[in-house]
Copies of this chain bind each other. A is one copy, B any other.
C-alpha cells in the first residue's frame, strides 16, 4: 500500500509543486509544466495531483476559491489568505486542543480535525494601503 510509482509525469508535477513558492492551482501547474518544456494531457495533471495527494506527498487545499490549490507541505497546518492580493501563506500556530474538545462536547461529534482559512491583509498590502 505504500508503493509509490513516480512516472515521468508524476515526478514533473511533484517537482512543480515542491519547488513552488506559492500554492499553485492545477492550471498554474499546467502552465509551469509547459514553461519547463513538458506537454502532458490535462487529465494527466489532474490524475497526478490526485495520485500525489493520495500518497500524501502533497496536499489539496480548498480555500473557498473556485479552484483547488496544492501544497507540498503535508504536515498539519492551516492557511491565511490576503483579501487584497489573494496571496496565501502558511499558518503553523496550532488550534488549541481545548477548542476541539469543546466543539466535540457542543456538537456530539467525534472530532477528527479542522480546516481553517484565516482571512486578512498581508504585510505588503497593509503598507501599500497606508499611502
Contacts and interface: CB of A to CB of B under 8 A. Distances in A.
A54 to B, nearest CB: 16
Nearest to A109: B120
Nearest to A83: B112
A26 interface: no
A27 interface: no
Each complex incorporates copies of this chain amounting to 2
A109 B96 contact: no
Given A64-B62, A104-B120, A110 B93 contact: no
A7 interface: no
Interface stretch (A12-20, A44-52, A121-129): A121-129
Contacts of A118: 100, 103, 107, 109, 111, 113-114
A91 B103 contact: yes
A80 B96 contact: no
A12 B89 CA distance: 40
Given A91-B107, A110-B126, A115-B117, 8 more contacts: A92-B106, A93-B103, A93-B106, A96-B99, A110-B120, A111-B118, A112-B119, A116-B116
Interface of A: 62, 64, 80, 82-83, 89, 91-93, 95-96, 99-100, 102-104, 106-123, 126
